[in-house]
Amino acid sequence: MNSEEIWNLYHSSSKLQQVVPELKQVTPLSGGYTNFVYLLTGTTQMVLKYFAPFLRIQAQVPIKQDRYYVEKHSLLLVQRCNMGTLKVPKVLFFDDDKSLLGMEYCGSLQTLSELFEDKTVSFQEMQALNQELVDQLKLYKQEMTRISLSLTPEDEKVFENISRQVIFTTMVHPSYRQNAIKYNVLEEMSDVLDRLQPFKPTLDFPLSHGDLWPNSILFNKDKREFWLLDWEMAHRRHLDRDLDQMIANLWLMAKSDHYNQEAIRDLIQRISGLYPWLQTEASRDTFLRFAVDLPQYPHFHCKDPRTVILEAIDLVNKQK
């Protein structure tokens, strides 16, 4: 769905016209690899997200649109949580037939990645922000555990999250092995990759965000608020795996002088204090899978992926 189609939809939808009166501008935003996202500006503003039946960056790859229901349900559920200054956008509009979700515009925000790119911020200020974020992540774990106890059978069906299964089984899991071959670390990674299992929802674990990384957390400097976005991968899993994913991303960022390395290492130390990082096989495996997968993405500025991956393997081996 492109900008012109958004305009046409607006003029045919009284619901959209009520939420954003007198629409003046439709601005494309980053939708990541999967979705199409627009900022609608009239007398008010709203972010409109379209969950297409294919990947945004690879239209030939089909993907179920059930992730629309996952994000909508997640936001409606999490809005009942108290996570301090860790906010989630309010749902303002939805169209189940068209897989369109309208959300509160959170203002001018920086992703956590962008915050660590800004080297003008003092280390002391970054330490304070890091601690604020860690305090909110602690609340996040508590509140997600609490609301998971109240999920209905209808909720559980939504959080089976078929589209996530498709993405990981057909794309992500194979890429781990492909990258291990590409970077010549297959022998060192073989045990970890052999333990990969198809995704199976289980009631034993609470609901988790499912894709916690520095670009899903945004920061409002003026209000000193953190925002947690992009809930379409939410599903039941151990909440520590969310933290494993976050640390793996941060750890790789800390290998590049493009980022404030000292501040990132400080945040890693604080997050790892929330749980037994690398002390279980599941934690070590999650960290290593991301370590072998992430160097391919340009925003990590990874100049020597093989060396970095071997460092990750060595770090894990020292924890066994």
| Tens digit of each residue's pLDDT (9 = 90 or more) over 254-298 | 999 999 999 999 999 999 999 999 999 999 999 999 999 999 889
Provide the β-strand partners of residue 41. Answer: 25, 45
- Grade residue 2 by pLDDT with cuts at 50, 70 and 90: confident
Please give the pLDDT value at position 60: 64
Model pLDDT for residues 200-225, shown as the tens digit of each residue: 667 789 999 999 999 999 998 888 89
Q: Are 102 and 47 in contact (CB under 8 A)?
A: yes
**Residue 246, exposed/middle/buried by CB under 10 A (0-12, 13-18, 19+)?**
buried
Q: What DSSP element (H or E) covers 32?
A: none
Please give the pLDDT value at position 164: 80
Residue type, 206: P
The percent of residues above 90 in pLDDT, for the chain, comes to 69
Q: How far apart are CA 40 and CA 45, in angstroms?
A: 6
- Fill in the DSSP letter of residue 54: B
pTM of structure: 0.92
The percent of residues above 70 in pLDDT, for the chain, comes to 96
What sign does the dihedral 231-236-239-243 (CA atoms) show?
Answer: negative
Please give the pLDDT value at position 199: 66
**The pLDDT of residue 320 is above 80:** no
Q: How many CB atoms lie within 10 A of CB 311?
A: 14
Model pLDDT for residues 150-207, shown as the tens digit of each residue: 899 999 999 987 778 777 777 788 889 999 999 999 999 999 888 887 666 677 899 9
For the chain, the average pLDDT equals: 90
Residue 233 has φ and ψ, to the nearest 5°, of -95, 5
